[in-house]
Chains A and B, each alone.
Chain A
Amino acid sequence: MEDIDNIEEDEYGFSRNYFLAKELGGSSKKSARKLSDINIVDEQELRETAFNIETKHEKEIDEILDDYKTKYPKWVFELRCGFGLLMYGFGSKKALIEDFASSSLTEYSVVVINGYLPSVNLKQVLLAIAELLSELLKSRRKSSGTPAKGQEALPSRSIDDILSFLHGSQSEDKDCFICVVVHNIDGPALRDSESQQTLAQLASCSHIRIIASIDHVNAPLLWDKKMVHKQFNWLWHHVPTFAPYKVEGVFFPLVLAQGSTAQTAKTAAIVLQSLTPNAQNVFKILADYQLSHPDEDGMPTEELYSASRERFFVSSQVTLNSHLMEFKDHELVKTKRNSDGQECLNIPLSPDALKQLLLDLSQ
């Protein structure tokens, strides 16, 4: 009864706050001042300063982290009992989780997935995990003396095949598993339902334990009951650290920075490196064209297709479109129509940034 009352009260509080905020917006005159009224410092300087901000309360933050260290044995126990750990609370939990993994999980292999990056290829992750697991099972069998079964051959066909390989691998030893750390399981690269389903299926394998962090307040909406209770099997831990989101924030624009050349060139390079060589080559053609035709609106799609096809980077319009879709998703390429009505592709970077990017890619 008490709980129900509490919930109702919370809900009431929530709606009251919401309407108060709405009312405030309606009654009082909205402030019309512009962002441009602030004398914004040079962007480069802003970035540099932002990068070097001194962390407040460093001592207290260290104390908090030390305090969490006393919970490590409990967390290990929970993992060994078959649960997944889900860390939440304000502040970057990257250092905390990796410290936990490297100090308390030395008996187990640990794979780290950086979910805060704009793109993560889950198939490659699964393959790496499958390799580790088959290695592990092999060594266990050797030590226990049971003969190896003929299932070691790793499938490399599809995500489903790898998952069924992971599910199929059995060992008597219940305490034999691989820990998968997922920083920001609610991150941009993993936010779609397909990735979450894949991760959930991975988590439900008997030899896998997941330790994940979330930062977004609505992250639980990513999962249905089956995923929460049967697959991820989460145990929640509220571990605010107040540590700065240094790495996690790299891919977010600064609110006071208008054009963001330097940053996007860097992020673009990271995104491109995660794509296939053919996709990178197609991007290079586009970039070369843009550098050599600075006055045009962009490269017509047909032209890009014929140029890429000539060099055997794509075999059909369909493959090109899939590359383009990938570029557009990560905002590497924008389309617009030129004066002739043709569809043109344009990379939204300054020529300097583009040159730097090409240089980075060729390294």
Chain B
Amino acid sequence: MAPSTTIADPQPSSTTDSSNSNAAAAENDIRPFFVLHKASSGKKSTGTVRAKRRIDSPAPKLAKKSEIESTEVEDGEYFSTLRLKVFETVWSKIDKTIQDVLRDSHSKVFSGVHDWICESFESIRSCGALSLSEAVRSYPVLSQPSSKQLFTALVLTRNLEMVDDLLTFEDLGLHLKSQGCHVGKLSSMDFSTKNGVGGCLRGLLRQFVMPTVDVADVTILASWYRENGNHNNPVVIIVDDTERCSGSVLSELILILSEWAVKVPVFLIMGVSTAHDAPRKILSANALQRICATRFTLSSPAERMDAVLEAVFLKPCSGFTVSHKVALYMRSYFLSQDGTLTSFVKTLKIACLQHFSLEPLSIMLEHFCQDNQPPGEGTGLLTEATMKHAFDLPSVTRNKITRSTCEMLPQFLLDLQRMPKPWSIVVLCIYEAGKFDKIRLIDVFCETLDPEARYLKYFSPSASLNSQSHVSGRNSVIRRVLRKLRDFSPAQLSSLLKSWESLTAEFSEISDKVMELHPLMRNVEAAGQRPGLPSSPKKHASRSHSKLEKELKAMTDKVSAIIEFMLREYMKPVETVPFNEILCYKNVDKLQSALLGDPRGRIQSDLLESYNILHCMCCSQRGTSLLPSMHDTSILYTLAQEHADVINLHDWYQSFKTILIPRNSKAKLKSKTCSKSKKRKDRCEEPEPEQPAEASIQARFCRAVMELQIAGLIRMPSKRRPDYVQRVAFGS
């Protein structure tokens, strides 16, 4: 192994061993790989030091490490370990919740698949048991057409991106295995034309028979199936990404397996992400005839996301939550950019991580996580410094809470812990009412997090009249729900009532109000039960109908009054509560930049606005003109902006040179002849001292071009176009 080395310091170092380390570093630079260092054996002891100092900055500056007392370093160490521990507790709780939600959302399909396998397996077995010798022979060929059918389940994933469903199929495999099936998994990698059908069979045999099998013979599978009671259970093969498989290889496998369908009852489960007719596009006609397909449909990513959202933020989970802006960003990222639950979960994880690395008080979340422990105990963690930080939080100063109310802190924290409950009940109640209008939970969630929303204006009598004037409320989900309420049928109202009842069961203040609706509901039902009435409340046909109409109106008025009550009393978004910074992550910019790098835009803006990053005195006041003191590559790329999609190297070089040569000699360079005389002068090495030599300008030009090439911003001259480079990027 390579010896550990010191890194070449960007600063010229004056120590004696610098030449040695530089040589070693230079050697490492051209090695494909090397071991920089091995783990130091002695870990610093952590967890025993109590913090006694200010920790409002979560990241003590390493740059000044030597100046910081050792206790401070240990403090940082202690808190970083603690932070990691709490992060792990919180995230594992969220992660487990998400896994459970996903498993629940698929459980119906999973058990459906299992039932289908059981039924089909029975029907195959009923054809008659085979003796061992019969079963492993490929002849006689079975003549009945029905015996050559391969039972196939098409699992529609309703999402073109496979990434969400990798885990689903893994879970499906585990589920079926737990039910006793023999499960094998193949992916599109196994169905390559290079390896042919032999590759798939080998893969299957390795999974079923033993991992060292290196032949592709289906009779091995057949004889294995007859051994040790294996034949009491069906064989299941899962192919998760059917569309990416080679169609010919998959067809061939289907033909082979269908020939053996009676001897080895194989059930093929194919994940289909496009449309239900995908097999028709991939498989050959022969293979299509052999499959006997049944369809299963998974829930869509948006449905799954709503379920995850409900479980993580609206049901008691970890206590961690996000601000209105972060929620809006997460929604727009999901809807307009990615559309996969995987990335949604990743966004959530990054938000959680950044919450812990940015907010020192976040470690108190540990106490919110544990249901039976009052969060007040978390104050034990608070040192003088954190206390100061806590009382400097915007939510605290805004509410005019001062340190004199210090003893109230446990009470505030208790409030903070209890607060989300009624709020989330209200959110879920509104969501229930909106379900009939296909409103998404994420929309309700985003809107109700808004700390500046004024919902009550939707209830004022003028709201319905000049609804157009409420620009801010035009897209409001709550307003949509309220309007839709008037069109509810008695059946819908009754089911809404039932769901509200179960949602508010543990919260008597709202639940009492909901109970008051029951007599009204009975009136509606009584009015609706008269014969010959249409179910729609909109038609004004008869007198009895107008009675129903009246009852319905009374009912919906009451429902809307309850919504108003809930919004008025309990709609306190988390951001309005003091000390919410402990729970709530707010920094949307940091989240965005960590989640989605934008190399295309950022690298170009680095170059075009280099002074913003370098903060140098010499270039910051340049205005629009280019200065010779600027970074070479930056000058060259700025010059490139003036060119068309191809850049003449000669012109580019000349303008580069014009920038580098100080102003007084610039005039001479305007015409080509002058520039030539200038060059001659340069080569004689007699220019004024500050003027760079020709060789230096050329070398700098070459390096700047090379750096642009590394950044992928230009394409080098081709044989066909030796004097031009091509611009590749146009704006971000």
Residues of A within 8 A of B (CB): 1-4, 7, 10, 13-14, 16-18, 20-26, 28, 30-35, 37-41, 45-47, 49-50, 53, 56-58, 60-66, 69-74, 76-78, 80-81, 83, 86, 88-91, 94-95, 98-99, 101-104, 106-114, 117, 119-121, 124-125, 128, 132, 136, 139, 174-175, 181, 189, 214-220, 224-226, 229-230, 233-238, 240, 242-245, 247-250, 252-257, 270, 274
Contact between B342 and A225 (Cβ–Cβ < 8 Å)? Answer: yes
Q: A101-B37, A216-B599, A254-B702 are in contact. List 18 more A-B contacts (CB 8 A).
A: A20-B730, A31-B651, A47-B699, A49-B698, A53-B696, A81-B88, A90-B610, A90-B707, A95-B9, A108-B39, A111-B35, A189-B32, A214-B599, A215-B603, A219-B712, A220-B597, A242-B610, A244-B703
Nearest Cβ distance between residue A361 and chain B, in whole angstroms? 15
Nearest Cβ distance between residue B360 and chain A, in whole angstroms? 13
Nearest Cβ distance between residue A118 and chain B, in whole angstroms? 10
Q: Among residues 643 to 686 in chain B, which have CB atoms less than 8 Å away from a CB atom of chain A? A: 643-646, 648-651, 653-654, 672, 676, 679, 683
Q: Given A50-B702, A81-B87, A255-B716, does the pair A88, B34 have CB atoms closer than 8 Å?
A: no
Q: Given A24-B644, A33-B648, A83-B353, does the pair A102, B725 have CB atoms closer than 8 Å?
A: no
Q: How many angstroms from the CA of A7 to the CA of B332 in the assembled complex?
A: 11
Could you list 5 examples of A-B contacts with CB < 8 Å? A37-B650, A56-B629, A60-B614, A72-B62, A243-B10
Residue of B37, B650, B711 near A216 (CB, 8 A) is B711
Task: Check B201 for interface membership: any CB of A closer than 8 A.
Answer: no
Cβ contacts under 8 Å, B29 to chain A: 94, 114, 247
Task: Check B376 for interface membership: any CB of A closer than 8 A.
Answer: no
Contact between A90 and B32 (Cβ–Cβ < 8 Å)? Answer: no
Task: Check B594 for interface membership: any CB of A closer than 8 A.
Answer: yes
Nearest Cβ distance between residue A359 and chain B, in whole angstroms? 17
Residue of B91, B599, B702, B727 near A256 (CB, 8 A) is B702
Residue of B36, B630, B699, B709 near A181 (CB, 8 A) is B36
Q: Among residues 38 to 60 in chain B, which have CB atoms less than 8 Å away from a CB atom of chain A? A: 38-41, 43, 58-60
Q: How many angstroms from the CA of A119 to the CA of B87 in the assembled complex?
A: 40
Contact between B648 and A31 (Cβ–Cβ < 8 Å)? Answer: yes
Contact between A74 and B59 (Cβ–Cβ < 8 Å)? Answer: yes
Render B55-69 as a binary contact track against A, CB cut-off 8 A, 1 for contact. 000111111000000
Contact between B698 and A114 (Cβ–Cβ < 8 Å)? Answer: no
Q: How many angstroms from the CA of A77 to the CA of B353 in the assembled complex?
A: 9
Cβ contacts under 8 Å, A98 to chain B: 7, 36
Q: How many angstroms from the CA of A237 to the CA of B43 in the assembled complex?
A: 28
Nearest Cβ distance between residue B609 and chain A, in whole angstroms? 10
Q: How many angstroms from the CA of A108 to the CA of B36 in the assembled complex?
A: 10
Contact between A33 and B594 (Cβ–Cβ < 8 Å)? Answer: no
Counting from the closest, the 4 A-B pairs by CB-CB distance are: A236-B597, A25-B644, A49-B699, A216-B712
Residue of A3, A49, A81, A114 near B696 (CB, 8 A) is A49
Interface stretch of the complex, out of B76-84, B144-152, B248-256: B76-84
Contact between B703 and A31 (Cβ–Cβ < 8 Å)? Answer: no
Task: Check B717 for interface membership: any CB of A closer than 8 A.
Answer: yes
Q: Among residues 291 to 342 in chain B, which have CB atoms less than 8 Å away from a CB atom of chain A? A: 329, 332-333, 336, 338, 340, 342
Cβ contacts under 8 Å, B357 to chain A: 74, 77-78
Name which residue of chain B comes closest to A40, CB basis. Answer: B698
Q: Given A60-B615, A128-B35, does the pair A252, B731 have CB atoms closer than 8 Å?
A: no
Residue of B40, B62, B83, B649 near A255 (CB, 8 A) is B649
Q: How many angstroms from the CA of A111 to the CA of B39 in the assembled complex?
A: 11
Q: How many angstroms from the CA of A233 to the CA of B163 in the assembled complex?
A: 13
Cβ contacts under 8 Å, B471 to chain A: none
Task: Check B706 for interface membership: any CB of A closer than 8 A.
Answer: yes
Q: Given A220-B597, A255-B705, A255-B725, does the pair A77, B80 have CB atoms closer than 8 Å?
A: yes
Name which residue of chain A comes closest to B331, CB basis. Answer: A3
Q: How many angstroms from the CA of A270 to the CA of B27 in the assembled complex?
A: 11
Name which residue of chain B comes closest to A119, CB basis. Answer: B32
Q: How many angstroms from the CA of A337 to the CA of B40 in the assembled complex?
A: 58
Render B5-33 as a binary contact track against A, CB cut-off 8 A, 1 for contact. 01111110000000000000000111111
Task: Check B616 for interface membership: any CB of A closer than 8 A.
Answer: yes
Cβ contacts under 8 Å, B32 to chain A: 113-114, 117, 119-121, 124-125, 189, 274
Q: How many angstroms from the CA of A46 to the CA of B706 in the assembled complex?
A: 14
Contact between B10 and A245 (Cβ–Cβ < 8 Å)? Answer: no
Q: Given A41-B698, A245-B706, does the pair A113, B597 have CB atoms closer than 8 Å?
A: no
Name which residue of chain B comes closest to A103, CB basis. Answer: B62
Q: Among residues 422 to 444 in chain B, which have CB atoms less than 8 Å away from a CB atom of chain A? A: none
Contact between B698 and A125 (Cβ–Cβ < 8 Å)? Answer: no
Contact between B631 and A217 (Cβ–Cβ < 8 Å)? Answer: no
Contact between B707 and A249 (Cβ–Cβ < 8 Å)? Answer: yes
Contact between A41 and B695 (Cβ–Cβ < 8 Å)? Answer: yes
Residue of A1, A41, A80, A90 near B711 (CB, 8 A) is A90
Q: Given A3-B336, A236-B597, A249-B706, does the pair A117, B694 have CB atoms closer than 8 Å?
A: no
Residue of A18, A80, A224 near B84 (CB, 8 A) is A80
Q: How many angstroms from the CA of A50 to the CA of B683 in the assembled complex?
A: 17
Task: Check B283 for interface membership: any CB of A closer than 8 A.
Answer: no
Q: How many angstroms from the CA of A250 to the CA of B87 in the assembled complex?
A: 43
Contact between B699 and A50 (Cβ–Cβ < 8 Å)? Answer: yes
Nearest Cβ distance between residue B371 and chain A, in whole angstroms? 24
Task: Check B633 for interface membership: any CB of A closer than 8 A.
Answer: yes
Cβ contacts under 8 Å, B594 to chain A: 235-237
Task: Check B129 for interface membership: any CB of A closer than 8 A.
Answer: no
Task: Check B606 for interface membership: any CB of A closer than 8 A.
Answer: yes
Q: How many angstroms from the CA of A281 to the CA of B63 in the assembled complex?
A: 50
Render B590-604 as a binary contact track against A, CB cut-off 8 A, 1 for contact. 000111110111111
Contact between B36 and A102 (Cβ–Cβ < 8 Å)? Answer: yes
Cβ contacts under 8 Å, B613 to chain A: 64, 240, 242
Task: Check B561 for interface membership: any CB of A closer than 8 A.
Answer: no
Contact between A245 and B707 (Cβ–Cβ < 8 Å)? Answer: yes
Contact between A245 and B731 (Cβ–Cβ < 8 Å)? Answer: no
Task: Check B343 for interface membership: any CB of A closer than 8 A.
Answer: yes
Task: Check B700 for interface membership: any CB of A closer than 8 A.
Answer: yes
Residue of A26, A65, A114, A225 near B33 (CB, 8 A) is A114
Task: Check B517 for interface membership: any CB of A closer than 8 A.
Answer: no
Contact between A66 and B63 (Cβ–Cβ < 8 Å)? Answer: yes
Q: How many angstroms from the CA of A346 to the CA of B215 in the assembled complex?
A: 43
Render B70-103 as a binary contact track against A, CB cut-off 8 A, 1 for contact. 0000001000100110011001000000000000
Q: Given A108-B39, A136-B39, A217-B729, does the pair A229, B695 have CB atoms closer than 8 Å?
A: no
Task: Check B127 for interface membership: any CB of A closer than 8 A.
Answer: no
Contact between B332 and A3 (Cβ–Cβ < 8 Å)? Answer: yes
Render B153-177 as a binary contact track against A, CB cut-off 8 A, 1 for contact. 0000000011100100000000000
Q: How many angstroms from the CA of A224 to the CA of B166 in the assembled complex?
A: 14
Q: How many angstroms from the CA of A110 to the CA of B607 in the assembled complex?
A: 31
Contact between A88 and B707 (Cβ–Cβ < 8 Å)? Answer: no
Q: How many angstroms from the CA of A102 to the CA of B24 in the assembled complex?
A: 15
Q: How many angstroms from the CA of A241 to the CA of B1 in the assembled complex?
A: 31
Cβ contacts under 8 Å, A242 to chain B: 606, 610, 613-614, 631
Task: Check B366 for interface membership: any CB of A closer than 8 A.
Answer: no
Q: How many angstroms from the CA of A333 to the CA of B41 in the assembled complex?
A: 48
Q: Given A4-B336, A56-B629, A110-B36, does the pair A102, B7 have CB atoms closer than 8 Å?
A: yes
